[in-house]
C-alpha cells in the first residue's frame, strides 16, 4: 500500500446557476471514500497498514470505510481538509452568480492509501499524449486543406514522424517496467499487447509517411484517423487502480452538482510523458447536475464554472505540489507554529494583482442550430470572463447573425504574475441563446476561446495586434451547432490607466443605440454584393405534420438580408416557380473565406395565413457561385485573328492537350504530329519490305456490340496509361520526399562523391527505363494502328453525373433538411432528415458590374446573370432507356446465382421485363431499350431496378439506381443524346439524333450568342474565331460519295469547349456504369448496371428507331477434324513374352465445354515405332458468336434446374493421344490445344513439327479457322514430365475444316469412315497385329529383324558345345585303342 496526497486550489467559481445562488455554497473533493464528510462513514476498526498485521479482506473493508477523521494518528497533526468554507454567491447577471473569492483562494488536501498501480495510469497517459499530439496535427492538416494553403502533405508527413517517435518512446519507457512487482497477469499481457501494437503503428507510420503524396493526402488522413481511434482504445485502462476525483458543489449539506476528473489526468510523475495532462495546471471544470437530471437538454446547462488547480501523487513526492500555481501568493496554514513548513496551505492569498481590459469583437455566427419552428432562430450571445458577463443584441430570424459588436469588459482583476497571465490567460466562455418572446431564452450552443494578451509595456501593433477574426466551433452537447467568427484581446491597464490603451471608436450606427461596432482593423473589409437567385422548382417534398405540401414558397437569407420566391399555386400540377430570377443586395467581406452561409428555407403557405416550415438548407460556401468577369486580355478571348484547329479525318490515337500561346493578331494551326521516332521506325519497316497490314473490318459483321467492345478495349488501355502516368508522377514525388527527408540540396551532390556515383547510376537506369517506356508506347501505337478501324463510343466506368459535376453547370439541386432538430434526433442520419430538393441557382457578384457585361447584345435585365436559360414550363419528352448489361450482381438465390430482369419506373409509368429474365446469371447481358413518354418536371426521376425472378413468392429487389433526368435535359453539356464520333447515314454507326450536326451547331451558336457557323470552301468551318478543318465527303449505302458539311459541324461540336465564353464539353455517345443500391442495405453496392438514356422533346422532329443493342445471336457451325496419322508417339507398353516396347495408339478430341461429347478414333494396335494410321473423322457442331470469339452453350445445371443456363466459352479444340489397355485404365500420353481463332499453322512434314510450336506460340504466325476455313498439317503432342517441364510425346497429322450449318447440310460427311464422303481404310503395317493372330508373321519379324544375330551366336555356341561333347565322349575309346594297339 502506498500513501497518496491530493491537493486542490479553487481559483475561481463563476457561472453558478441562479436557482442555487441564494444560499451559501461550499465545495467538497473526494477520492474514493476519502474526503467524504457528509455520508456518515464509520471509523475503521483495524489499522490500515498491511505490515502491522491484518489480512487482505479486513484491509479491503478498511479501504472502503476509511474516513478523514482518524488520519492524525499517522502523520503528526496533518488532518485532511476536503471542503472549502461556505460562501454566499454574488450576482453576475440575470442568469448566473459567482463566489467572491478575489485574492483569497481556498485549498483542500487529502491523504489516501491505495495499492501502487501507477504504472497502468502512466502508460495510459503516454498513449493519451501521443493521441492528443496526433489529433492536433490532423486538425492542422484539415485546416490547411480547408483554407487551400500549400503543402498539406508536408505537415502530414511531420505528423507521422511525430507519431513514430512517440510510439518508440512508449516502447522504451514501458520496457523498463516489464518486470515490476505487483503486476497482474492481465497487466503483463496488456503491456505486451500495447508494446506490440505501438511498434506496429510506428512501422506503419514510417511506411505511410513515404506514401503521402499530394493526391493521396485525403485518403491517408482517413487511414491515420484509424491510428487515432486505436490509440484512444489502447489508452483506456480496463483495470481500476486509483479512483477518480469528484468535485461536489454543496448547498445546505446537499450535493447539487459535480464534476468527475480522471485520476490519471492529475497524477504526478518525475518523467514528463507519464504525468497527467492536467497535473499541476490550472484547469477549467464545468459542474453538471447529478443522476438522470444530467442527461438530455438539462445536461447542456452549466451549474458552475471552476478554475481549479489539482495535484495527485505519492506523499513522499509532494515537495513540488505547488509549483504549477500562478505565482504571487502567500500560503495560509491551518496551524501556526515552528516546524510546520511541510504542511499544505488551507488557503492562498494573492498579493500580485493585474488589472486588464477585455475587448470581445463579436462579428458573426454561422450555421446556427434552428431553434424555432420557422427553421430560424433569434440569436444573441452571452460572454463570460472571470466574474464578468455581457450580452450582444438580439438579431431576429437568422441562422447567421452578424452582430458586428464590440463588448468591452473594464477593470478585470486577475491574480498572478503578469508574464504568466500573458502566456496562459483564463478562458472566455461564449454561450449562444435563442430569444423567445414568452419564457426564457433557449440554449443553442457554447464555445470557448483564449484571448490574445498585451501587457502594458508591449507595443500594440503587428504581428499580434490588432487580432485577426477566427472561427470557433459552437457545441451543443456533443453535436456541432455552428461557428462563431470573433476576436478576443486582453489589454493590461498600466500605471497611466486607460489612456495608454488603443482608442475605441464611438458608436457609428445611430439606429443601434450605444452599440460599439467591431473596429476597422479587425472587422473585415466589406463590399456591396448582389445575390441573384434563380428559382426553378421544388422536387420530392414529403408530408409535413401529415399534410401534403400544396403551396410552397422559398425564402433566401444571407447576412440578415433576403428575398422570397413566388408561391407555387399547386405543387402537384406544376412544382416550378412562375418568376424565375430575383435578387437582393448585401454587404459581404472581401475575404471569401469569411462569407456567411446562405440559408434556403421552404415554407408551405397554408390556410388563414399560417406558414409551416418544410425544410431548410445552408449553403456553407458561396465561392462556387461567385461570378468573376472574364479576363479580356486572355488569349482565348482574342477575336482579331483566326485560330485554326486542323483536324485529321481519323481521331489521333493519343489524346494530346495542346496549349498554344497565341497573339491577338496571329493565325495559329494546332496539329497533332507523329513523334519522329515512330516515323523512323515506319521507314525502316518499309525498307525491310514488311508492310503493315491494316485489317479492314467486314461491314456486314459489325454491329453496335463491335463498337461497344472496341470502346471497352480503348477504356482499359486509357486506364493503364493513366496508371502509368500516375506511377511516374508518384516516382517523381518519392524522389522529392527522399530529398526532403535527407535534406540534400541539389548543389551539394558534387561534394559527396559516392552519392554522385549513385545518382549517375540512377540516371543510367532511368534513361534505360525511359527507352523501355518509349518502346512500349511505340508498340502500343503500332498495335492500335493495326487494330480494326471501328467507330467507338465513350464507356464511363462511373456515373455520368460524377463525370459532369451532377450537370450543375447552371441548375443546382439543394437537399432540404427537416427544420427544427428534436432532442432525440442526435442519431438521425442526414439521409433520413431529407424532406425534398430545391432546384435553382445563385450568382454572387460585386456591384456595379463592368459596363460591357450589361451592354452585351440581347442582355435581358430581368434575368440578370442567368441569360439564355430555357423556359421552365412543363414539357413532354420521349425518354429512351438503353440497358446494356449488369455486372457483379449480388446473389439472390441459395445457389449463389440470380435470375435478373429489369424494371423501369418514371412517374406513374412502370415497365416490367419479367418474362425476359435471364436464368442463373450474375453478369447478365440485357441488351434492351425501353421508350417512355414523360412530362418534365412532374416526372423527372427515373428509377432503373434489377429484380430477381422467383418461381414461388414475390420477386426480390437486387438493386436500383435513380437518375435525375431534368438536370441532364437542361444541361448546356447536351446530355439528351450523345454526340457520335463520326457522322454516318447507314450501317452500325447510323446517326441517331433527329437533329443533324449542322443543325445542332447552328442552334448552339444561336443560344450562346456566338458568331457562326460559317462554312467555307476546302473543308473549313468558322465558329467565333476558331476555324475547324475536316473532310467534306459522305458515302451512302451504295458507296456513292456526295458533298456535305456534317463532318465539319461534328468536328466543331467535338471541340465545342474550345469556343470562347459559350464553350463547354458536350457529352459524347457513351455508356455509363451506375452502381446498384438497395434501400435495405444502405451504402453497399449490389452490382453495376451499364446503360444510357436518350431524351427527345416531343415538339421536335421524331427520332428514328432505337439502336438495336439486343444480345448477339450465335451462328451454327460444324467443325470437321480428320485425324490422318500420328508419329513419334512415346511407347508405353512392354511385351510380356518379348519385352518389346510398343503402344496401342488412339486419338481423342473435343471442343472446350463439350467434354461429354468427346470422340475417339479406333485403336492402332501394337505400334512399335510410334507411328499410327487412322483416317478418322470427328464432327463437332457448335453455336458461335463471331464478334466475341466465344462458343455459346445452353444446358441445365442439374436435373432439378427449371431453365437452361447459357455459357460462353473460348473456341478451343483439344486433341489427345492415348495408349489403350484391355484390363486397366488407358494411359494418357500427350495433348495439344488449339485456339480456333489463333493457332500456329501446322508443319508440312512430321520432321518440321517440333515442341516450339507449343512453347513459343506467341512468336509464331497464327491463323484462324474462321478465316482460313480449311487447314492441314502436323502439330505436336506435349505432356509434363516429372520435373513439370513440357516434353514432346508425339505428333499428329490432322485436317481441320469449318463449315456453316447451311454448308454442312449441302455437303454432309459421315463420322469415322462412314458414308457420306467415306474415308479409306488405313494401310497399317503387319506388325500392328497381335502375335497370336498371325504367329508366323510375328516370328518371321522377330527372327529376321530383332534377334537374328543372337540366334546365330546361339547356334554357333551349340555347335561348339556338341563338338566338345563328342570329343570328350570319343576320346577314352580312342586312347584305349591306341594303347592296346588295336
pLDDT digits (tens, 9 = 90+) for 567-611: 999 999 999 999 999 999 999 988 888 888 898 999 999 888 888
d(CA 1187, CA 697): 11
Q: Residue 816 has what pLDDT?
A: 92
pLDDT one-digit tens code per residue, 1038-1076: 778 888 899 999 999 999 998 887 889 999 999 999 999
**Distances from the Cα of 58 to the Cα of 55, 1048, 1163, 1209, angstroms:** 6, 101, 98, 82
d(CA 1276, CA 1130): 12
CA distance from start to end of the chain? 138
pLDDT of 1339 over the 80 cut: no
For 557, the enclosing helix (H) or strand (E) is: strand 552-558
d(CA 1270, CA 1275): 15
d(CA 499, CA 870): 64
- Does the bond joining 241 to the residue before it have cis omega, within 30 degrees of 0? no
Q: 484 in helix, strand or coil? A: strand
For 1304, the enclosing helix (H) or strand (E) is: helix 1301-1306
**Distances from the Cα of 897 to the Cα of 69, 892, 918, 1191, 1238, angstroms:** 77, 6, 11, 22, 33
Highest mean pLDDT out of 146-160, 171-185, 742-756, 1057-1071:
1057-1071
d(CA 390, CA 515): 12
pLDDT one-digit tens code per residue, 1203-1241: 777 788 999 999 999 999 888 899 999 999 999 999 999
Which carries the bigger pLDDT value, residue 697 or residue 368? 368
pLDDT of 1276 over the 90 cut: yes
**Distances from the Cα of 1147 to the Cα of 46, 1220, 1277, angstroms:** 100, 10, 11
Cell reading at 1102:
421524331
pLDDT of 154 over the 50 cut: yes
d(CA 730, CA 723): 10
Rg from Cα positions in the chain:
46
Contacts with 862 (C-beta within 8 Å, 6 or more apart), sequence order: 581
pLDDT one-digit tens code per residue, 1234-1260: 999 999 999 999 999 999 898 888 888
Confidence of residue 239 (pLDDT cuts 50, 70, 90): confident
1227, exposed or middle or buried, with CB in 10 Å at 0-12, 13-18, 19+? middle
d(CA 72, CA 94): 45
At what angle are helices 1046-1054 and 997-1007 packed, to 10 degrees? Answer: 50
Angle at 466 between CA 461 and CA 469, to 5 degrees: 155
159, exposed or middle or buried, with CB in 10 Å at 0-12, 13-18, 19+? buried
Q: Residue 738 has what pLDDT?
A: 67
Give the residue-averaged pLDDT of 746-767: 43
Query: 272-276, 306-310, 828-832: which has the minimum mean pLDDT?
Result: 828-832
Cell reading at 797:
466506368
pLDDT of 775 over the 70 cut: no
Q: Residue 685 has what pLDDT?
A: 41
- Does the bond joining 466 to the residue before it have cis omega, within 30 degrees of 0? yes
518, exposed or middle or buried, with CB in 10 Å at 0-12, 13-18, 19+? buried
- What is the b/e burial string over 1295-1322, where b = at least 16 CB atoms within 10 angstroms of the residue's CB? ebbbbeeeebeeeebeebbeeeeebeeb
Which carries the bigger pLDDT value, residue 661 or residue 1328? 1328
pLDDT of 62 over the 90 cut: no
d(CA 379, CA 370): 10
DSSP class per residue in 213-265: -GGGHHHHHHHHHHHHHHHHHHHS-SS--SPPEEEEEEETTEEEEEEEE-GGG
pLDDT of 359 over the 50 cut: yes
How does strand 643-646 pair with strand 668-670?
parallel
Query: 179-188, 481-490, 692-701, 746-755: which has the minimum mean pLDDT?
Result: 746-755
Confidence of residue 1340 (pLDDT cuts 50, 70, 90): low
Q: 1360 in helix, strand or coil? A: helix
**Distances from the Cα of 724 to the Cα of 655, 730, 731, angstroms:** 15, 10, 10
Q: Residue 909 has what pLDDT?
A: 94
pLDDT of 245 over the 60 cut: yes
Confidence of residue 119 (pLDDT cuts 50, 70, 90): confident
How does strand 1212-1219 pair with strand 1205-1210?
unpaired
How does strand 812-817 pair with strand 1081-1097?
unpaired
Contact 66, 34 (CB under 8 A): yes
pLDDT of 55 over the 80 cut: no
pLDDT one-digit tens code per residue, 513-561: 578 888 888 888 889 999 999 999 999 999 988 889 999 999 998 888 8
Q: Nearest Cα to 587, choosing from 531, 629, 628?
A: 531
Helix and strand counts by DSSP (H, E) for the chain = 20, 59
pLDDT one-digit tens code per residue, 1097-1147: 998 888 989 999 998 889 999 999 999 999 999 988 876 656 678 889 999
**Distances from the Cα of 1376 to the Cα of 928, 1364, 1367, angstroms:** 120, 19, 15
d(CA 1052, CA 1021): 8
d(CA 61, CA 54): 11
**Distances from the Cα of 453 to the Cα of 329, 356, 431, 463, 1167, angstroms:** 22, 9, 22, 13, 107
SS3 content of the chain, % helix, strand, coil (to 5): 30, 35, 40
What's the chain's length in residues? 1382
Contact 403, 393 (CB under 8 A): yes
Q: Nearest Cα to 862, choosing from 535, 561, 630?
A: 535
Give the residue-averaged pLDDT of 692-714: 72
Chain centroid offset of residue 267 CA? 42
pLDDT one-digit tens code per residue, 974-1020: 999 999 999 998 888 899 999 999 999 999 998 888 888 998 887 88
Give the residue-averaged pLDDT of 384-410: 89
For residue 541, the 8-state DSSP code is: P
Q: Residue 1141 has what pLDDT?
A: 82
Amino acid at each position: 500500500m502506498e500513501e497518496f496526497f491530493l491537493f486542490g486550489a479553487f481559483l475561481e467559481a463563476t457561472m453558478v446557476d441562479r436557482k442555487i445562488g441564494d444560499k451559501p455554497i461550499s465545495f467538497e473533493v473526494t477520492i474514493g471514500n476519502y474526503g467524504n464528510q457528509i455520508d456518515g462513514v464509520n471509523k475503521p476498526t483495524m489499522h490500515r497498514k498491511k505490515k502491522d498485521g491484518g489480512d487482505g479482506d479486513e484491509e479491503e473493508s478498511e479501504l472502503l470505510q476509511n474516513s478523514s477523521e482518524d488520519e492524525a494518528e499517522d502523520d503528526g497533526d496533518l488532518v485532511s481538509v476536503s471542503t472549502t468554507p461556505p460562501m454566499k454567491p454574488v450576482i453576475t447577471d440575470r442568469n448566473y452568480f459567482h463566489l467572491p473569492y478575489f485574492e483569497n483562494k481556498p485549498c483542500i488536501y487529502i491523504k489516501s492509501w491505495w495499492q501502487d498501480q501507477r504504472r497502468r495510469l502512466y502508460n495510459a497517459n503516454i498513449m493519451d499524449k501521443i493521441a492528443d499530439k496526433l489529433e492536433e496535427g490532423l486538425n492542422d492538416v484539415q485546416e490547411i486543406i480547408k483554407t487551400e494553403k500549400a503543402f498539406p502533405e508536408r505537415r502530414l508527413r511531420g505528423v507521422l514522424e511525430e507519431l513514430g517517435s512517440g510510439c518508440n518512446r512508449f516502447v522504451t519507457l514501458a520496457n523498463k517496467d516489464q518486470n515490476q512487482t505487483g503486476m497482474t497477469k492481465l497487466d503483463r499481457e496488456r503491456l505486451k499487447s500495447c508494446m506490440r501494437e505501438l511498434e506496429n503503428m510506428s512501422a506503419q507510420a514510417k511506411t505511410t509517411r513515404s506514401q503521402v503524396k499530394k493526391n493521396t493526402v485525403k485518403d491517408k488522413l482517413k487511414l491515420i484517423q484509424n491510428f487515432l481511434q486505436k490509440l484512444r482504445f489502447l489508452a483506456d485502462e480496463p483495470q481500476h487502480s486509483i479512483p477518480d476525483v469528484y468535485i461536489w458543489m454543496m448547498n445546505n449539506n446537499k450535493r447539487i452538482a459535480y464534476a468527475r476528473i480522471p485520476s490519471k489526468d492529475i497524477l504526478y510523475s518525475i518523467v514528463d510523458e507519464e504525468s497527467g495532462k492536467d497535473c499541476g495546471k490550472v484547469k477549467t471544470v464545468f459542474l453538471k447536475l447529478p443522476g438522470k437530471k444530467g442527461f438530455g437538454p438539462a445536461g447542456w446547462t452549466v451549474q458552475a464554472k471552476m478554475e481549479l488547480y489539482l495535484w495527485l501523487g505519492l506523499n513522499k513526492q509532494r515537495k513540488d505540489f505547488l509549483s504549477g500555481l500562478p505565482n504571487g501568493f502567500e500560503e495560509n496554514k491551518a496551524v501556526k507554529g515552528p516546524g510546520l513548513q511541510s504542511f499544505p496551505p488551507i488557503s492562498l492569498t494573492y498579493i500580485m494583482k493585474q488589472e486588464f481590459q477585455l475587448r470581445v469583437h463579436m462579428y458573426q455566427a454561422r450555421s446556427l442550430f434552428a431553434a424555432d419552428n420557422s427553421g430560424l432562430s433569434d440569436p444573441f450571445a452571452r460572454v463570460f470572463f472571470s466574474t464578468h458577463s455581457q450580452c450582444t443584441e438580439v438579431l431576429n430570424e437568422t441562422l447567421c447573425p452578424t452582430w458586428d459588436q464590440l463588448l468591452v469588459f473594464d477593470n478585470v482583476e486577475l491574480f498572478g504574475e503578469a508574464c504568466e497571465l500573458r502566456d496562459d490567460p483564463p478562458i472566455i466562455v461564449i454561450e449562444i441563446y435563442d430569444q423567445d418572446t414568452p419564457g426564457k431564452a433557449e440554449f443553442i450552443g457554447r464555445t470557448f476561446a483564449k484571448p490574445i494578451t498585451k501587457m502594458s509595456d508591449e507595443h500594440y501593433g503587428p504581428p499580434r495586434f490588432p487580432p485577426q477574426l477566427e472561427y470557433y466551433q459552437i457545441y451543443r452537447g456533443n453535436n456541432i451547432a455552428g461557428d462563431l467568427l470573433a476576436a478576443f484581446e486582453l489589454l493590461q491597464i498600466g500605471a497611466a490607466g486607460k489612456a495608454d490603451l488603443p482608442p475605441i471608436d464611438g458608436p457609428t450606427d445611430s439606429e443601434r443605440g450605444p452599440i460599439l461596432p467591431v473596429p476597422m482593423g479587425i472587422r473585415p473589409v466589406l463590399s456591396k454584393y448582389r445575390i441573384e437567385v434563380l428559382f426553378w422548382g421544388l422536387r420530392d417534398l414529403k408530408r409535413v405534420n401529415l399534410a401534403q405540401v400544396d403551396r410552397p414558397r422559398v425564402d433566401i437569407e444571407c447576412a440578415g438580408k433576403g428575398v422570397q420566391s413566388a408561391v407555387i399555386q399547386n405543387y402537384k400540377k406544376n412544382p416550378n416557380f412562375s418568376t424565375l430570377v430575383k435578387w437582393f443586395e448585401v454587404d459581404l467581406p472581401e475575404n471569401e473565406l469569411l462569407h456567411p452561409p446562405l440559408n434556403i428555407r421552404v415554407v408551405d403557405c397554408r390556410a388563414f395565413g399560417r406558414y409551416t416550415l418544410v425544410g431548410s438548407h445552408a449553403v456553407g460556401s458561396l465561392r462556387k457561385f461567385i461570378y468573376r468577369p472574364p479576363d479580356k486580355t486572355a488569349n482565348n478571348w482574342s477575336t482579331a485573328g483566326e485560330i485554326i484547329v486542323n483536324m485529321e479525318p481519323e481521331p489521333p490515337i493519343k489524346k494530346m492537350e495542346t496549349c498554344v500561346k497565341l497573339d491577338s493578331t496571329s493565325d495559329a494551326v494546332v496539329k497533332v504530329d507523329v513523334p519522329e521516332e515512330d516515323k523512323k521506325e515506319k521507314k525502316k519497316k518499309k525498307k525491310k519490305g514488311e508492310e503493315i497490314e491494316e485489317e479492314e473490318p467486314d461491314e456486314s459483321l459489325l454491329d453496335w456490340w463491335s463498337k461497344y467492345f472496341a470502346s471497352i478495349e480503348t477504356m482499359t488501355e486509357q486506364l493503364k496509361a493513366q496508371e502509368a502516368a500516375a506511377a511516374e508522377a508518384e516516382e517523381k514525388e518519392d524522389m522529392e520526399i527522399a530529398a526532403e527527408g535527407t535534406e540534400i540540396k541539389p548543389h551539394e551532390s558534387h561534394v559527396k562523391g559516392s552519392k554522385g556515383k549513385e545518382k549517375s547510376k540512377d540516371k543510367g537506369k532511368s534513361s534505360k527505363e525511359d527507352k523501355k517506356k518509349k518502346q512500349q508506347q511505340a508498340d502500343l501505337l503500332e498495335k492500335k494502328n493495326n487494330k480494326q478501324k471501328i467507330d467507338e463510343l465513350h464507356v464511363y466506368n462511373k456515373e455520368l453525373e460524377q463525370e459532369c459535376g451532377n450537370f450543375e453547370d447552371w441548375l443546382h439541386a439543394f437537399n432540404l433538411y427537416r427544420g427544427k432538430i428534436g432532442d432525440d434526433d442526435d442519431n438521425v442520419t442526414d439521409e433520413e432528415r431529407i424532406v425534398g430538393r430545391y432546384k435553382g441557382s445563385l450568382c454572387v457578384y460585386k456591384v456595379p458590374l463592368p459596363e460591357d457585361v450589361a451592354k452585351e447584345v440581347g442582355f435581358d435585365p430581368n434575368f440578370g446573370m442567368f441569360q439564355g436559360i430555357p423556359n421552365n414550363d412543363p414539357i413532354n419528352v420521349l425518354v429512351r432507356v438503353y440497358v446494356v448489361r449488369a455486372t457483379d450482381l449480388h446473389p439472390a438465390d441459395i445457389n449463389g446465382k440470380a435470375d435478373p430482369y429489369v424494371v423501369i419506373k418514371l412517374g406513374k409509368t412502370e415497365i416490367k421485363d419479367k418474362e425476359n429474365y435471364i436464368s442463373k446469371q450474375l453478369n447478365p447481358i440485357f441488351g434492351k431499350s425501353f421508350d417512355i413518354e414523360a412530362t418534365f418536371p412532374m416526372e423527372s426521376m427515373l428509377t432503373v431496378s434489377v429484380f430477381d425472378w422467383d418461381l414461388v413468392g414475390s420477386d426480390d429487389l437486387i438493386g436500383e439506381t435513380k437518375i435525375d433526368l431534368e438536370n441532364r435535359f437542361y444541361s448546356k453539356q447536351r446530355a439528351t443524346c450523345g454526340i457520335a464520333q463520326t457522322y454516318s447515314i447507314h450501317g452500325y454507326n447510323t446517326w441517331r439524333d433527329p437533329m443533324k450536326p449542322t443543325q445542332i451547331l447552328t442552334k448552339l451558336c444561336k443560344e450562346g450568342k456566338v458568331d457562326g457557323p460559317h462554312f467555307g470552301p476546302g473543308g473549313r468551318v468558322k465558329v467565333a474565331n476558331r476555324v475547324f478543318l475536316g473532310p467534306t465527303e459522305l458515302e451512302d449505302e451504295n458507296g456513292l460519295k456526295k458533298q456535305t458539311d456534317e463532318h465539319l459541324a461534328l468536328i466543331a461540336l467535338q471541340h465545342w469547349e474550345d469556343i470562347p465564353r459559350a464553350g463547354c464539353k458536350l457529352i459524347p455517345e457513351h455508356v455509363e456504369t451506375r452502381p446498384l443500391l438497395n434501400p435495405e442495405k444502405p451504402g453497399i453496392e449490389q452490382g453495376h448496371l451499364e446503360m444510357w438514356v436518350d431524351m427527345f422533346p416531343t415538339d421536335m422532329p421524331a427520332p428514328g428507331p432505337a439502336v438495336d443493342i439486343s444480345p448477339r445471336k450465335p451462328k451454327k457451325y460444324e467443325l470437321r477434324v480428320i485425324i490422318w496419322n500420328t508419329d513419334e508417339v512415346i511407347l508405353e507398353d512392354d511385351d510380356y513374352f518379348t519385352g518389346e516396347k510398343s503402344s496401342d495408339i488412339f486419338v481423342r478430341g473435343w471442343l472446350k465445354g463439350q467434354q461429354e461429347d468427346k470422340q475417339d478414333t479406333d485403336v492402332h494396335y501394337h505400334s512399335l515405332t510410334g507411328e499410327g494410321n487412322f483416317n478418322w473423322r470427328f464432327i463437332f457442331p457448335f453455336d458461335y458468336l463471331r464478334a466475341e470469339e466465344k462458343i455459346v452453350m445452353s444446358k441445365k445445371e442439374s436435373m432439378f434446374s427449371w431453365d437452361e443456363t447459357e455459357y460462353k466459352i473460348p473456341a478451343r479444340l483439344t486433341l489427345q493421344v492415348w495408349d489403350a489397355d484391355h484390363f486397366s485404365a488407358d494411359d494418357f500420353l500427350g495433348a495439344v490445344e488449339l485456339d480456333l481463332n489463333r493457332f500456329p499453322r501446322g508443319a508440312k512434314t512430321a520432321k518440321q513439327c517440333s515442341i516450339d510450336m507449343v512453347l513459343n506460340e506467341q512468336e509464331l504466325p497464327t491463323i484462324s479457322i474462321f478465316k482460313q476455313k480449311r487447314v492441314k498439317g502436323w502439330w505436336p503432342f506435349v505432356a509434363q514430365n516429372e520435373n513439370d517441364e513440357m516434353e514432346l510425346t508425339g505428333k499428329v497429322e490432322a485436317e481441320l475444316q469449318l463449315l456453316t450449318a447451311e454448308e454442312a447440310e449441302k455437303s454432309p460427311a459421315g463420322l469415322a469412315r462412314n458414308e457420306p464422303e467415306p474415308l479409306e481404310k488405313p494401310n497399317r503395317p503387319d506388325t500392328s497385329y497381335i502375335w497370336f493372330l498371325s504367329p508366323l508373321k510375328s516370328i518371321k519379324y522377330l527372327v529376321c529383324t530383332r534377334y537374328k544375330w543372337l540366334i546365330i551366336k546361339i547356334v554357333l555356341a551349340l555347335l561348339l558345345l556338341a563338338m566338345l561333347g563328342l570329343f570328350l565322349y570319343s576320346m577314352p575309346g580312342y586312347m584305349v585303342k591306341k594303347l592296346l594297339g588295336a
